[in-house]
Structure 1
Amino acid sequence: MQENTAQKEPRAWWKEAVIYQIYPRSFMDANGDGIGDLAGITSRLPYLRELGVDVLWLSPIYASPNDDNGYDISDYRAIMEDFGTMADFDALLAAAHRMGLKIVMDLVVNHTSDEHPWFIESRRAKESPYRDYYIWRPGKAGKEPNNWESCFSGSAWQYDAATDEYYLHLFSKKQPDLNWENPKVRDEVYDLMKFWCDKGIDGFRMDVISMISKDQRFPDGPVKPDGYGDFSPYCVSGPRVHEFLQEMNRRVLSHYDLLTVGEAAGVTIEEAKKYARSDGKELGMVFQFEHVGEGNGKGSIIEKWTTGKPEMPKVRAILNKWQRELAGCAWNSLYLDNHDQPRCVSMFGNDSPKWRVRSAKMLATCLHMQKGTPYIYQGEELGMTNTRFHSLADCRDLEEINAWHQYVDEQKRVSPETMLACFNNVARDNARTPMQWDASENAGFTTGTPWLAVNPNYREINAAAETGDPDSVYAYYKKLIALRHTHEIIVYGTFEPLLEDDPAIYAYARHLDGQTLLVACNWTDHEVPCTLFSDRGEGEELISNVKTEKERTLAPYEARAVLYGKAEA
């Protein structure tokens, strides 16, 4: 096995932290209107402190007409009425800081809402001083400026009759893209960032930040099966994105001690090294999407929609590649689910009653012992699962609704039954069902009618039941978090992939200062041979999810992490 001969990794608080993502609409409702709010989050801070996490990342809480659940912002300096007031935010921030918890905000500046004052003025006239805050183009031969398809189905261009031009929206038509080529737009963004930093927040998660720079030629994209063009060659990690982020760093980020993570769909490893460069001139880390995308083996029926599950060897190959190639160059983000992904125990593990708890613990071990900053999405620490959709009426997410209308109603490419099966597997609403606090009505989330139906399994899976159970998924996550805070090797040790051809076991070693940490995880529902630990000799078992493990095998969904050697002084 390799030893740690690399230079010591530069220390940073956000490398040593564990991040907990809160989707405010679904976390805790304090006023009984069926929608989670800031006061609800504040009321649950003791739960999060007890879990042991360090940072709370809040999905957008800004003023918004809520076309895309808050990712369409109409005022960056105000709080969405559903969530409360600025006074409620100030109270949350102060309470979190008193408890030693940091707050990271979601920065959504690729686009605004079409109800933002900038856009209202921009669309008023071509002569408006705000016209160039957005991307306007004349049509071509009575059609859109090019063939690009929106991420939410249909054309990425919306015609506006008032000025006889089209505006670009890579997402919803109510989310017009900002024109980052305009220095006044960048000034506005940096100013609003300073507003929040001066309030005392501790960082930003930057929504689709890899898309802020567009190829100014706006050419047609490669044609996809549905007839639209793919915009990604011209908008993902575009020509000036690193110039813009370095400017952002000089103007804002370098003046505060912040955690910064960029959502970077489509990012390559070479690009990631630029975004999260070790000299600190851009961002601290990025989210990559390969391991949750089509390359993980789950296949596709149409676009992102599938009923398949990822194949562990493909997931392992992707994650190991990122571990290898970012080593010494950039810092990794570790996650399996978030507000845009299905529940990880349902997608990557086994959410059947027999195996849910054990496979949830296995996945957590596999992720949290890797090198990088781990992210926990609300309810993941309970082993919350996907829900079940019986009709389109059960859905709230714009992506699902638009996909249904395009692929079922208009193009008739899939049947309603197939689309629902895909929703049950990968729809974003699976992650957005309300947090399951207890076994009372609506899982203790609200005394009203929840904005999205609670998963019916809340009576069995809930925080009240798990916080008092030493064998629960919650207790296991709490131990994993404590181990990361205790053992430097988990944070800073080098990463060595092991058993890379094994069809069932995801194994690796971490090395630091004379110590080796061995981790082995069985991703299957059957026992498999494993001699990694028996061949190594005596070590300290840091964590395992099976109490009576055999010497030379791993039980179904078993995970073990064993530490060997003593740390050098």
Structure 2
Amino acid sequence: MNKQYIKTLVFNFRFFTWFFIGGVGFLFCCSPKLANERPNDLEDHWPKAGVTYEIFVRSFYDSDGDGIGDINGVRENLDHVSDLGANAIWFMPIMPSPSYHKYDVTDYKAIHPDYGTLEDFKALISEAHAQDIRIVIDLIINHTSSEHPWFLESKKGRDNPYRDYFVWAQKDTLEDYLEKKTITLDSDNIRQWHDPGFGEDFYYGFFYGGMPDLNFDNPKVREEVYEIGKFWLEEVGVDGFRLDAAKHIFPDDRPDDNHAFWKEFREKMVEIKSDIYLVGEVYDSKEIVAPYLPGLPALFNFDFHYTLLEALRTADGSLLPTKQKQVLDYYQGITDEFIDATISSNHDQPRILSDLDGDERKAKQAIAILMTMPGAPYLYYGEEIGMLGKKPDPNIREPFLWDVLDKDGGRATWIDPKFSTDETVIPLEVQKEDASSMFRHYQETIKLRNTDSVLALGGLELLDENYPKALMAYERVLDGERRIVFHNLGMERLELTYTTEGGEVVYSYNGATMDGKRLVFPPQSSLVVK
């Protein structure tokens, strides 16, 4: 069912004049203020600094009434992505899989039937491209499903042609490894060697037994993977891949092999599509992450996520700019072509509003910080309407609320939501009519970035002034142009005298003002000065 409704308004000129003036006045008073807006001058900074919207298809929009979101549901709602100001969509896994999340693939060249068909997906890509929206898909090549045909063949015996597609070892060689007790940053699985049921040979699965790791020492496996990439780039038409579990292609004690593989993967993909976009998930410190950059030019910045949360919780303004400056300078030492994929949340972390104990002002300030920091920011679906969610994972992937329940024909029902319900979250259609809503705040703040090249592409400089602890302050610089960014993270009103006069306010959130050299910051407010 299409969510669009045709509304016909019949009114006289006097009523229209009153409505227009009143509406503009309301927006001016109540919404975040963008000085000198340029509505027809939106810039496209993707991939270097554009905005990407992450979608879990199962929970996004159900177009056929079966309770499960689908490809056509996304296609019907591409206007939402455009209205928000995003330049690209990253789809969580869409390939056939036995799980709800689909990170265990059984067929690398198809769409899960619950989601639609390849033709549906091609139609979506065509319409997205017509709106200048790129399409990035999750490509899960570290492991398959234990139900994948390759693995079903592999476990039939040591002489099977597919045996070496996976990592096998005899039980008597694994005494020191069977009971692994170390919990890693990206997996709490304490058992990585698994018994397929016949007790002699065990297979390796880093995440769990249902996800056997592929053996990338086998040239045939690498060729299979490159063919899969070619299929999605050439035959389907995607713009790039998000590479899941990129750190685990080879074990942690073989990092050089990991780095070499991703360089080779990139070379193969560039031969197919010269402007391919690759973003990798390497869940670790900057020292571990950085060597992946030659192969994966975009990498998720998990330090950004955790430091942003810590800064907002402790009202310590120096934490994030200092950390981000360290990360960017370190990456610059590896390559100047890197893309810093910044996030405030994603499908593996609690939703940011839940992480901030329901404080909407802090959540609004989080997006203001994300959009005024360097990087290529990612937005997780539903954050723009203040959806809630905590572990376990299904409860941070609950259905999007499009409208009030009795009008919401597209809301998915595959799960009974625990956190994002009609009692806790105001639906999108209602928020659109409220100038002070979370959605309108996201929309305006993303627009700020999309109309200001300095905020999108400029470098990051720390400021030497001795500001109050709660004030986050930094400078963005591009080709001699500067923006000074302030965020008061605390609950106390702050006033200060700035060192120069004559600046122009580009953006103000929650009542922050500039009068000559005098800057005033109410609690949890933000200001950008040109």
Residues 129, 294 of structure 1: alpha-carbon distance in 2 compared, 3 angstrom cutoff = farther
TM-superposition CA deviations, 1:18-58 (whole Å, max 9, x none): 10000111111112222211111111111111222110100
TM-superposition CA deviations, 1:491-542 (whole Å, max 9, x none): 2211012369853222211112222111111223x1243537x333222222
Q: Does 1:505 align with 2:462?
A: no
Deviates more, 1:456-465 or 1:22-31: 456-465
Q: Does 1:87 align with 2:94?
A: no
Q: Does 1:273 align with 2:284?
A: no
Q: Which amino acid aligns with 1:334?
A: T
Structure 1 position 63, deviation (Å): 0.4
Residues 289, 23 of structure 1: alpha-carbon distance in 2 compared, 3 angstrom cutoff = same
Residues 284, 506 of structure 1: alpha-carbon distance in 2 compared, 3 angstrom cutoff = same
- What is the aligned partner in structure 1 of residue 85 from structure 2? 52
Q: Could you tell me how far apart the structure 1 residues matched to 2:381 and 2:308 are?
A: 26
Contact 1:28 1:40 in 2 (8 A): yes
Residues 234, 502 of structure 1: alpha-carbon distance in 2 compared, 3 angstrom cutoff = farther
Q: Does 1:182 align with 2:218?
A: yes
Q: Could you tell me how far apart the structure 2 residues matched to 1:15 and 1:294 are?
A: 22
Contact 1:60 1:71 in 2 (8 A): yes
State, as a whole percentage, how many aligned pairs show the same letter: 32
The secondary structure found in structure 2 opposite 1:436 is coil
May I ask how many residue pairs the two structures share in their alignment? 473
When normalised by structure 2's length, the TM-score is 0.82
- What is the aligned partner in structure 2 of residue 192 from structure 1? 228
Q: Does 1:165 align with 2:165?
A: no
Q: Does 1:242 align with 2:272?
A: no
Q: Could you tell me how far apart the structure 2 residues matched to 1:16 and 1:435 are?
A: 26
Q: Could you tell me how far apart the structure 2 residues matched to 1:522 and 1:479 are?
A: 19
The secondary structure found in structure 1 opposite 2:278 is strand
Instruction: Give 2:358's match in structure 1, choosing from 351, 359, 372.
Output: 351
TM-superposition CA deviations, 1:251-306 (whole Å, max 9, x none): 1234312221100012x4344433224xxxx22210132344599769xxxxxxxx
Instruction: Give 1:463's match in structure 2, choosing from 414, 428, 439.
Output: 428
Structure 1 position 169, deviation (Å): 1.0
Q: Could you tell me how far apart the structure 1 residues matched to 2:59 and 2:268 are?
A: 34
- What is the aligned partner in structure 1 of residue 153 from structure 2? 121
- What is the aligned partner in structure 2 of residue 283 from structure 1? 296
When normalised by structure 1's length, the TM-score is 0.76
Residues 310, 171 of structure 1: alpha-carbon distance in 2 compared, 3 angstrom cutoff = farther
TM-superposition CA deviations, 1:61-98 (whole Å, max 9, x none): 000001x6100000011111221222221221122122
Q: Could you tell me how far apart the structure 2 residues matched to 1:501 and 1:126 are?
A: 67
Structure 1 position 142, deviation (Å): 7.9
Alignment of 1:379-528 (within 5 A): 379-386=382-389, 424=390, 427-441=392-406, 445-446=410-411, 448=413, 450=415, 452-453=417-418, 455-457=420-422, 460-498=425-463, 502-524=468-490, 526-528=491-493
Deviates more, 1:283-292 or 1:191-200: 283-292
Q: Which amino acid aligns with 2:488?
A: N
Q: Could you tell me how far apart the structure 2 residues matched to 1:263 and 1:62 are?
A: 19
Contact 2:88 2:136 in 1 (8 A): yes
- What is the aligned partner in structure 2 of residue 211 from structure 1? 248
**Structure 2 stretches of 5 or more lacking a match?**
1-43
Q: Could you tell me how far apart the structure 1 residues matched to 2:501 and 2:403 are?
A: 44
TM-superposition CA deviations, 1:148-195 (whole Å, max 9, x none): 357243411111233611111111210001111111111000100000
**Structure 1 stretches of 5 or more lacking a match?**
1-10, 215-232, 299-307, 387-423, 564-569
Q: Which has the higher contact order (CA 8 A, sep 6+)?
A: 2
Deviates more, 1:88-97 or 1:452-461: 452-461
- What is the aligned partner in structure 1 of residue 268 from structure 2? 251
Contact 1:105 1:204 in 2 (8 A): yes
Q: Could you tell me how far apart the structure 2 residues matched to 1:447 and 1:111 are?
A: 29
Contact 2:301 2:340 in 1 (8 A): no
Contact 2:305 2:343 in 1 (8 A): no
- What is the aligned partner in structure 2 of residue 318 from structure 1? 323
Q: Could you tell me how far apart the structure 2 residues matched to 1:458 and 1:320 are?
A: 41
TM-superposition CA deviations, 1:223-262 (whole Å, max 9, x none): xxxxxxxxxx436xx2301111111122123431222110
TM-superposition CA deviations, 1:470-507 (whole Å, max 9, x none): 33222222223223232221222110123698532222
